[in-house]
Structure 1
Amino acid sequence: MGEIFTSLQGEGPLLGRRQVFVRFSGCSLGCSYCDTRAYLRRTESCQLEAAPGSRMFIRIRNPLSVDMVIECVKLHAAPEVHSVSITGGEPLEQPEFAETLAGELKSLGMRVYLETNGFSCDLFSRIAEHIDIAAIDVKLPGTVRCSRDQSDRLIENELACLRRSSEMGIHTIAKVVVLQETGERDLERICREMPSVDAIVIQPATGQCMSELKLLALHSIASRHLGADRAMVIPQMHKALGMM
Structure 2
Amino acid sequence: MSVTTTETTTARLVEVFSAIQGEGLNVGTRQIFIRFALCDLRCHFCDSAHTWSVPRTYRVERSPGLRDFETYDNPVSLDLLLKWVQQLNVPGLHDSISLTGGEPLLHSAFLLQFLPQVQKRTGLPIYLETGGHHPQRLALVLPHLNSVGMDLKLPSVSGESYWQEHATFLQRCYKSGVEVFVKVIVSAETDSTELHQAAELVADVNPEIVLFLQPVTPLESVQRHSKINFSAPTPAQVLTWQAEMKRSLKHVRVVPQTHKLLNQL
Q: Are 1:39 and 2:47 matched, yes or no?
A: no
Give the Cα–Cα distance (whole angstroms) in 2 for the partners of residues 175 and 235 of structure 1.
Answer: 11
Which among 73, 76, 82 is matched to residue 85 of structure 2?
73
1:108-164, Cα deviation, whole Å (9 max, x unpaired)? 322000001012111111111100010011001133445xxxx2xx22112211111
Closer, same or farther in 2 for the Cα pair 1:102/1:220, shift >3 Å? farther
TM-score, length basis structure 2: 0.85
Give the Cα–Cα distance (whole angstroms) in 1 for the partners of residues 172 and 140 of structure 2.
Answer: 11
Q: Are 1:170 and 2:178 matched, yes or no?
A: yes
Give the Cα–Cα distance (whole angstroms) in 1 for the partners of residues 264 and 158 of structure 2.
Answer: 26
Asked whether the 8 Å contact 1:48–1:57 carries over to 2, the reply is: yes
Give the Cα–Cα distance (whole angstroms) in 2 for the partners of residues 216 and 99 of structure 1.
Answer: 41
Give the Cα–Cα distance (whole angstroms) in 2 for the partners of residues 174 and 105 of structure 1.
Answer: 25
1:19-57, Cα deviation, whole Å (9 max, x unpaired)? 000000010110001011111111111110111111121
TM-score, length basis structure 1: 0.92
Give the Cα–Cα distance (whole angstroms) in 2 for the partners of residues 26 and 37 of structure 1.
Answer: 10
The 5-angstrom pairing of residues 28-177 of structure 1 reads: 28-78=40-90, 79-108=92-121, 109-145=123-159, 151=161, 154-177=162-185
| Code of the aligned partner of 2:167 | L
Q: Are 1:223 and 2:246 matched, yes or no?
A: yes
Give the Cα–Cα distance (whole angstroms) in 2 for the partners of residues 199 and 22 of structure 1.
Answer: 24
Sequence identity of aligned pairs in percent? 29
| Code of the aligned partner of 2:145 | I
Which among 19, 22, 25 is matched to residue 13 of structure 1?
25
Structure 1 runs of 4+ aligned residues shifted over 6 Å read: none
| Code of the aligned partner of 2:182 | A
Asked whether the 8 Å contact 1:138–1:159 carries over to 2, the reply is: no
| Code of the aligned partner of 2:235 | E
Asked whether the 8 Å contact 2:186–2:233 carries over to 1, the reply is: no
Q: Which residue does the alignment assign to 2:236? A: 213
Equivalenced residue count is 236
Structure 1: unaligned runs, 5 residues or longer = none
| Code of the aligned partner of 2:111 | A
TM-superposed CA distance for 1:177, in Å, is 0.6
Q: Which residue does the alignment assign to 2:211? A: 200
Give the Cα–Cα distance (whole angstroms) in 2 for the partners of residues 204 and 161 of structure 1.
Answer: 23
Cα RMSD between the aligned structures? 1.4
